[in-house]
Structure 1
Amino acid sequence: MSPAGNEFVIEHYEKKIYDQKQLLEISKALNSTLDYRYLIDVILNICLAQLQTLNAAMYLEPEVDSTMFRLEQSFKGFEIGDREINFAIPMDSPMVHFLAEKPKATMLKAILAIPELTKDPIVTFFHKLGAEVIVPLNAKGRVNGLLILGEKMTMSEYLEDEKEFMTTLASLAGIAVENARLYELATVDMMTSLKVHHYFQTKLKEEMDRCRKKGTNLTLLFTDIDKFKVFNDTYGHQAGDVVLIEVAKQLINNAGKHDIAARYGGEEFCIVMPGATEEEGYEMGERVRKSVESMVVANPNGGEDLKVTLSVGISSFNTNDRSNKDLIERADKALYQAKHSGRNQTICFKPS
């Protein structure tokens, strides 16, 4: 073999070794978290960095018994309008069946060359979107999602090594996403998408322990929808459920990256704010309260739109706190004061 040929072979195997090392590190990263949203973001960013593309998106199952894949909102680069965002992919579609039989990274142009798939609406949709590669995610012997990549920044073709890399990445990602989704199902209230009570209690204890060890701040918000029983009696429980969902969205949308928005029980929601001072907690309480006050919810029964207000109580960790109960009781007392001194306000706990 010529020296040039030897150099090519050496370079090829060096790249193989590098890719394997990268996949090992990626596998560690994917298995180090059960945070569903964070995990999806990690997977998409890995694609951008490793494959030199500006466009990456994932279609996953939104619910346990879903028959469709839907776009995850953390997509990168693709110009996706409202119509495209709502586009759902049936799990029993011809293209998904094709990918299930050949679970590997596949160029869209190769799919377009298959007569029975040419007119598949999903294939047409991806073509219009500017997708170049479709990669099925797999877990427990079935396709549990799709990874979509756009063209490379260099405008060059995807190499076979890169397609192999994507296939392996997708198999790792499929398992990681499935594990994270199962964990989320166990820790998230299905109606409101807030964390459940036992998760809230566990994380609050962890954060209080961290405060004791490191001297950091911690603030807790308790919220309650004003006169919710009267609201339910007036408009019915279906309207009440819609309002709970919309109020929960305000907490989720306003909560910071490291905050924990949870459902304490009934219409009582809370936010755990690691590292936050009482002043920052008050500012958060006011943001949430004002966003709920300005919120207009369509009445599921027809008729007039629905409006509610929120009362908020704030407490902050102090070194005398022995358990979750201490911090919770102070937030609850502040909330009681907010509700019994006019409602629709944020009050920080002050010792009597």
Structure 2
Amino acid sequence: MKNLLSKAGIQARLTVSILVVALLPLTLLGLKAFNDQKEIIRKEVTASHLELSNTLAHGIYENLEFTRRLLNSVGELEAVKLMRKEISEDFFEALMRHFSFFKIMYLINSDKEIVASTEPSVKLPSNWLYSKAIQRSYQGSLSQVVTQPDGIPYMTLESVIKSPQDSGIIGVLISEVNLLNIKELLRNALKKSKSQGLVLDEVGNIIAKSSDKARTLSIPVNEALEEDITRMKSIDGEPYLITAVSLKKFDFYQAPNWIIVLQIPEEIAFEAAEKFKTRMTHILVVTALIALVLSLLLSHSFTAPLNNLISEAKYLSKGNFDHKISPLHNDEIGDLTKTFDEMRINLKETREDLDYRILELSTLYEVGKAISSELNFRKLQNMILELVVKVIKADKGSLMLLDDAEKILSIGVAVGLSEEIARETKMEIGQSIAGWVVRNKVPLFIKNVETDEVFKSIKTQNVRTGTLMCMPLIAKEKILGTLNVSKAEAESFTERDFELFKNLANQAAIAIDNARLYRYAVTDEMTKLYNHRYFQQRLDEELQRCDRYQSHLSLIIIDVDHFKAFNDTYGHQEGDRVLKTVASLIEDNIREIDIAARYGGEEFTVICPEKNTDGAIVPAERIRKAIEQYDFRINGQSVPLTISTGIACYPEIANNKIDLIKKADLALYYSKKTGRNKTSLYHPIMEKS
């Protein structure tokens, strides 16, 4: 309850407090009055039960004692003592007519013969003893109560007959006494009472009960002998208030060991108390309603400003920092509300900064994770630019690389620019925006190209509206190139965008430098294709992949036609230019997953994963035609340039690496032997030529 109240609002606690103050005293007083009334009723019922029980017990005892004395008086008559049958029977009949509780009377002599009887067919019970009858007569004991087939209980009374001459016992007068009058006595006594009564003999048999509603129960006879019993007792699961009185209390020796029991259900006994409880409950409910209304009105005047503050503060809890918090009144709570609004403004600024920092960190982490694992130089450039353009939300972007030897910037990859512009754009250090950034080694952020004075001083022609950012790519104090992004709308990049852009560019520079170093280790310095060692390594890996996934692989070996004669005619410098051109055209005409390498001298190779015999001819022919159609010029004059190719496939043609290279080389030799400038797929016939 304490925890519940601590979680409840002020209005709820005020309401509960007022209700407690209003209802608790009334409830306690009502409960005490209810319990006091129950105790009074219990005492009154117990007292009335005891009085009535004793009255009934005494009445029953007196009736039994009267019957016993009457029977003893009959035994004193001379005709009875003289055992005169006719006179005795006439007297018995007259007595039974006058006293209906006598059922049968008969006289027995000392020979156990029935001398006189009101019922000619009567017989002594088989277990009846003359001596026991005499003993019972002297002790005043009664026989066991017996119930007739018609349900009427009766008992036997006995009186000894003494001789007129010597007072010796000469017989026994016996009467069966009908106990129905006890039932009538019980019913008449409880006629106007809600209680029910029972008369039980010493073994617990019912002698009489006031009505069929009386519930049967067991009462220890010995306990009732000691004192009257008053208690609550459960009968068949229902609580009853009972009182029990023994007839022995009036004459311990002569009275039968019977118990008078009065009982009343607790529900009926305490009916008045329950009605009082109901009235008190109604009063409590009405009081609670009145107190509730008053407490709500009172607490509302206190809590309305607080509820307004809570309602407004919920916008903050949901992360809505744009909703202004306004006070209802210019009181203390109003001042608190204004303070909350100031806190809202601070939180808004803090969250915006935090959100940006989280975005920046997560972006840098994701970008760093993505680019740090990529060592393929071309793939890395594309990945860097795509990620930067996406994160910065730029319209255009380019990654420019600096040629150390020629000191020329050229576009490695671009987004939003045509292939022609990307291919032909070349600039010297200091030229245009990228050249200026490389020369000065500082980033440049132009918010509006039309109004920025620095931009106008660098670029005076072809100025278009928009905003741009350019960042030098520096790793280990070495300029690698620049990263450039732009938008057509001026002022669309923010200072935060610029900070993120610089961080991304710094990460990109490190990744590019790592890839560049790796490229130097695995590429041919002149042609920039992979070198022979890397080719052998990758061919092993791809063959293992084929075995693992049950796939295909094709190997193309390329040789420049008449290259020795070309060198002899035009010189080695032009020959080197031919090799560079061929390498560039090979790269331009293969898939991203294909692996091009310089095999040695004027020979090149292309590993084509997932290509079978038919599929490998397509890229080989595409490369051959691109080189054949290329306009290669020396001193302004067009010089024809062609290649020959040979193809072998794994596992259709070759079953291991050495066999694959050998058969591709045989196919190449066949192309050169049969006219050059052609593509040949290995066939076993080539082994014989």
Is the aligned partner of 1:339 residue 2:677?
no
Please name the residue that 1:86 is paired with: 426
CA deviation vs aligned residue, 1:152-174 (integer Å, no higher than 9, x gap): 6x654322221111111111111
Is the aligned partner of 1:67 residue 2:402?
no
CA contact (8 A) 1:205 1:323 kept: no
CA 1:170–1:215 in 2, change beyond 3 Å: closer, same or farther?
A: same
CA deviation vs aligned residue, 1:50-101 (integer Å, no higher than 9, x gap): 11111111222223x4534x1324212247848971222249976545444x
Which segments of 5 or more consecutive residues in structure 1 lack a partner in the other structure? none
Please name the residue that 2:548 is paired with: 213
Is the aligned partner of 1:39 residue 2:372?
no
Please name the residue that 1:57 is paired with: 398
SS for the counterpart of 1:219 is strand
Greater RCO between the two (CA within 8 Å, min separation 6)?
1
**Greater CA drift, 322-331 or 38-47:** 322-331
Please name the residue that 2:586 is paired with: 251
**Normalised TM-score (structure 1):** 0.85
Which segments of 5 or more consecutive residues in structure 2 lack a partner in the other structure? 1-341
Please name the residue that 1:77 is paired with: 416
CA contact (8 A) 2:466 2:490 kept: no
Deviation at 1:34, TM superposition (A): 1.2
Structure 2 residue aligned with 1:193, among 510, 528, 548?
Answer: 528
Q: For 2:573, give the aligned amino acid.
A: Q
Q: For 1:119, give the aligned amino acid.
A: S
**Normalised TM-score (structure 2):** 0.45
CA deviation vs aligned residue, 1:295-328 (integer Å, no higher than 9, x gap): 331124x6x4211322111001118966532211
Looking at structure 1, the residues matched to 672 and 507 of structure 2 have their Cα atoms a distance apart, in angstroms, of 50
Deviation at 1:142, TM superposition (A): 4.4
Is the aligned partner of 1:144 residue 2:484?
no
Looking at structure 2, the residues matched to 293 and 203 of structure 1 have their Cα atoms a distance apart, in angstroms, of 28
Is the aligned partner of 1:181 residue 2:516?
yes
Structure 2 residue aligned with 1:305, among 629, 632, 638?
Answer: 638
CA contact (8 A) 2:531 2:597 kept: yes
Q: For 1:89, give the aligned amino acid.
A: I
Deviation at 1:275, TM superposition (A): 1.2
Structure 2 residue aligned with 1:10, among 351, 362, 371?
Answer: 351
Deviation at 1:282, TM superposition (A): 0.9
Looking at structure 2, the residues matched to 99 and 29 of structure 1 have their Cα atoms a distance apart, in angstroms, of 26
CA 1:317–1:125 in 2, change beyond 3 Å: closer, same or farther?
A: farther
SS for the counterpart of 2:427 is coil
Q: For 1:265, give the aligned amino acid.
A: G
Q: For 1:136, give the aligned amino acid.
A: P
CA contact (8 A) 1:212 1:319 kept: no
Deviation at 1:131, TM superposition (A): 5.5
**Greater CA drift, 135-144 or 259-268:** 135-144
Deviation at 1:128, TM superposition (A): 5.7
CA 1:198–1:87 in 2, change beyond 3 Å: closer, same or farther?
A: same
Looking at structure 2, the residues matched to 208 and 281 of structure 1 have their Cα atoms a distance apart, in angstroms, of 16
Percent identity, please: 32
CA deviation vs aligned residue, 1:15-71 (integer Å, no higher than 9, x gap): 3212211111111111011112211211211122111111111222223x4534x13
Looking at structure 2, the residues matched to 155 and 128 of structure 1 have their Cα atoms a distance apart, in angstroms, of 10
Deviation at 1:193, TM superposition (A): 2.6
CA contact (8 A) 1:131 1:148 kept: no
CA 1:108–1:324 in 2, change beyond 3 Å: closer, same or farther?
A: farther
CA 1:130–1:259 in 2, change beyond 3 Å: closer, same or farther?
A: farther
Of structures 1 and 2, the larger Rg is shown by 2
Is the aligned partner of 1:284 residue 2:619?
yes
CA RMSD, Structure 1 to Structure 2 (Å): 3.0
Q: For 2:579, give the aligned amino acid.
A: L
Deviation at 1:346, TM superposition (A): 1.0
Looking at structure 1, the residues matched to 410 and 440 of structure 2 have their Cα atoms a distance apart, in angstroms, of 20
Looking at structure 2, the residues matched to 189 and 318 of structure 1 have their Cα atoms a distance apart, in angstroms, of 29
CA contact (8 A) 1:224 1:267 kept: yes
CA contact (8 A) 1:67 1:90 kept: no
Looking at structure 2, the residues matched to 349 and 248 of structure 1 have their Cα atoms a distance apart, in angstroms, of 23
Structure 1 residue aligned with 2:657, among 305, 319, 324?
Answer: 324
Residues matched between the structures, number: 340
The equivalences for 1:140-179 within 5 A come to 140-151=476-487, 156-179=491-514
Looking at structure 2, the residues matched to 210 and 203 of structure 1 have their Cα atoms a distance apart, in angstroms, of 10
**Greater CA drift, 239-248 or 220-229:** 239-248
Q: For 2:357, give the aligned amino acid.
A: K
Q: For 1:297, give the aligned amino acid.
A: F
Deviation at 1:292, TM superposition (A): 2.2
Looking at structure 2, the residues matched to 129 and 170 of structure 1 have their Cα atoms a distance apart, in angstroms, of 24
Q: For 2:383, give the aligned amino acid.
A: V
